């Protein structure tokens, strides 16, 4: 049953792992921690994590488990829906000490997953892998275990997508220094999203025209995806679409106006409070 699991990791978890690795002690070559999230129908969604201080020796592992439980209890007060789903470690492979650490998490949750984040950048990228521990052996014989790879993917909420896009814009090519980028206004985001959508539609139309003109060999998988995309679009006239779009824009403008009005009122109350206190 464990082999049917699938792991979905949110970007904030990866940022926390990389931050913990950058803040590690000078004598630490590997960092480990606890994964928090939810499990539903074989899909483990990892939404949070924290680092667990530990030391690895040739024949043993020392981890501050009391510290880990205190952090978990504090986190549960804030996010009651998040439970322990496994543990993470930096590096590109499973080590001899991984089975010892995994045994502890097996007592904390059912079928814990082990996620490795390759901070050493093997093959020029930060690899991401997930494992489960499967029992091996024969009846009435010697028992063992083996880490088996399972599918892992990155899942994003809409705010996380916006944050990632903003972080991507801070990257600079050649200088090595990040650029300062301010969040865009709501209407600017709508305009940029519309431009991207128009560019993608032009690419799709260009591909369809090339296929019809026999300039490109047709791909059945792409054709089925385009058919599903067309069928998912609600059937409405231009007037109905314009009415729906204008209604949503009006709602957005109303929310912006109300937020600006509340901000102005708070600033006015603050100044009045200062005047009365003088």
Reported as a pLDDT band with limits 50, 70 and 90, residue 35 is very high
pLDDT band at 8 (very low <50, low <70, confident <90, very high): very high
The pLDDT value recorded for residue 178 is: 64
pLDDT digits (tens, 9 = 90+) for 83-130: 999 999 998 888 888 888 888 888 888 889 999 998 878 777 788 899
Q: Is the pLDDT of residue 138 over 70?
A: no
Question: pTM for this structure?
Answer: 0.66
What confidence score (pLDDT) does residue 1 get?
Answer: 46
Burial 116-129 (b: 16+ CB within 10 A, else e): bbbbeeeeeebbbb
In the chain, at which residue ranges do the beta strands (DSSP E only) sit? Answer: 6-9, 32-40, 43-52, 54-56, 61-63, 83-90, 113-117, 128-137, 143-150, 152-154
Q: How far apart are CA 178 and CA 168, in angstroms?
A: 10
């Amino acid at each position: 049953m464990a082999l049917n699991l699938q792991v979905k990791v949110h970007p904030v978890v990866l940022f926390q792992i990389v931050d913990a690795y950058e803040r590690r002690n000078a004598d630490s070559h590997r960092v480990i921690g606890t994964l928090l999230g939810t499990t539903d129908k074989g899909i483990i969604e990892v939404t949070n994590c924290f680092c667990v201080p530990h030391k690895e020796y040739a024949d043993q592992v020392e981890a501050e488990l009391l510290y880990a439980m205190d952090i978990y209890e504090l986190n549960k007060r804030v996010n009651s829906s998040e439970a322990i789903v496994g543990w993470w470690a930096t590096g590109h492979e499973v080590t001899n000490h991984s089975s010892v650490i995994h045994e502890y998490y097996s007592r904390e949750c059912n079928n814990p997953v082990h996620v490795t984040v390759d901070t050493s950048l093997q093959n020029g990228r930060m690899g991401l892998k997930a494992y489960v521990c499967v029992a091996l052996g024969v009846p009435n014989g010697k028992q063992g275990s083996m880490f088996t790879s399972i599918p892992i993917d990155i899942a994003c909420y809409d705010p996380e997508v916006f944050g990632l896009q903003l972080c991507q814009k801070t990257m600079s090519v050649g200088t090595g220094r990040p650029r300062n980028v301010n969040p865009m206004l709501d209407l600017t985001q709508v305009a940029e999203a519309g431009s991207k959508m128009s560019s993608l539609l032009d690419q799709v139309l260009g591909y369809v025209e090339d296929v019809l003109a026999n300039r490109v060999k047709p791909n059945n998988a792409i054709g089925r995806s385009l058919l599903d995309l067309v069928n998912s679009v609600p059937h409405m006239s231009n007037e109905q679409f314009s009415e729906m779009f204008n209604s949503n824009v009006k709602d957005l403008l109303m929310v912006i106006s109300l937020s600006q009005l509340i901000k102005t009122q708070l600033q006015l109350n603050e100044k009045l409070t200062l005047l009365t206190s003088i």
